[in-house]
A and B are shown apart, each in its own frame.
Chain A
Amino acid sequence: MRETIVHGTDRVWHPDAILSAFPNCVMIVDRNLQPINCSAVGLEIFGVASLADLPEGAPVTCVAPDHRRLFENRMDCAFESSAVDPFDVPLQLPDGRLIYAECNIAGLASPKGEIDAVMVTFQDVTALRNTEGKLDQANSILRSILTTIPDAMVVIDEAGRISSFSSTAEKMFGYEQEEIIGQNVKVLMPEPYRAAHDGYIERYLRTEEKRIIGIGRTVVGCRKDGTTFPLQLEVGEAKIGDERYFTGFIIDLTEKKQTEAELQSLQQDLAHASRLSAVGTLASSLAHEINQPLTAIANYLSAARDMMDGDLAENREFFLEALQESVSESLRAGTIVRRLREFVSRGEINRRKLSISQVLEDATVLGMIGAQERGVKFSIDIAPDTDYVFADRVQMQQVMVNLMRNGIEAMADSAEKKLHIGVQSLDDERLEISVSDSGSGIDQELGDRIFDPFASTKGTGMGLGLSICRTIIEAHGGTIGVEPNPDGGTIFRITLEKAEREQNDEQ
Chain B
Amino acid sequence: MSSERLVYIVDDDDSVRRSAAFMLRHAGFKVEPVESGVAFLKMAKGAERGCVLLDVRMPDMDGLQVQQQMIKDGIDMPVVILTGHGDIEIAVQAMRAGAVNFLEKPYEKEALIAAMEEAFVRLADSNLKEMAASEAKVRLACLTGREQDVLDGLLAGLPNKTIAYDLGISPRTVEIYRANMMEKLRVRSLADALRIGFAAERGERHERPANS
Contacts and interface: CB of A to CB of B under 8 A. Distances in A.
Contacts of B57: 288, 373
Interface stretch (A104-112, A317-325, A483-491): A317-325
Given A303-B27, A373-B58, A375-B59, A292 B22 contact: no
Nearest to B103: A295
B142 interface: no
Nearest to B55: A373
Contact of B108 (A298, A329, A373): A298
A299 B23 contact: yes
A322 B105 contact: no
Interface string A325-353: 10001001000000000000000000000
Interface in A296-316: 296-300, 302-303, 306-307
Given A288-B57, A373-B59, A295 B109 contact: no
A296 B85 CA distance: 15
B85 A284 contact: yes
A292 B85 contact: no
Interface string A239-265: 000000000000000000000000000
A18 B69 CA distance: 134
A291 interface: yes
A306 B109 contact: yes
B109 A332 contact: no
Nearest to B21: A299
A298 B106 contact: yes
B85 A287 contact: yes
Contact of B19 (A295, A318, A372, A373): A295
A374 interface: yes
A293 interface: yes
B109 A299 contact: yes
Interface string B7-37: 0000011011011101100110000000000
B22 A291 contact: no
Contacts of B203: none
B116 to A, nearest CB: 13
Nearest to A319: B26
A140 to B, nearest CB: 80
B46 to A, nearest CB: 27
Contact of B109 (A288, A291, A292, A303): A303
A297 B60 CA distance: 26
B25 to A, nearest CB: 8
B105 A292 contact: yes
Contact of A325 (B19, B62, B84, B108): B19
A44 B27 CA distance: 134
Given A298-B106, A298-B109, A292 B16 contact: yes
Contact of B16 (A287, A299, A318): A299
Interface string B114-138: 0000000000000000000000000
Interface in B81-113: 84-85, 105-109
Interface in A82-110: none
Contacts of A318: 22, 26
B106 A375 contact: no
B15 A329 contact: yes
Interface in B127-153: none
Contacts of A303: 22-23, 26-27, 109
B164 to A, nearest CB: 22
A292 B83 CA distance: 11
A299 B84 contact: no
B59 A291 contact: no
B15 A292 contact: yes
B19 A296 contact: yes
Contacts of B20: 295-296, 299
Nearest to A374: B59
Interface of B: 12-13, 15-16, 18-20, 22-23, 26-27, 57-60, 62, 84-85, 105-109
Complex A-B, nearest 9 residue pairs according to Cβ-Cβ distance, in ascending order: A375-B59, A302-B109, A299-B19, A296-B19, A303-B23, A295-B106, A296-B15, A295-B105, A298-B106
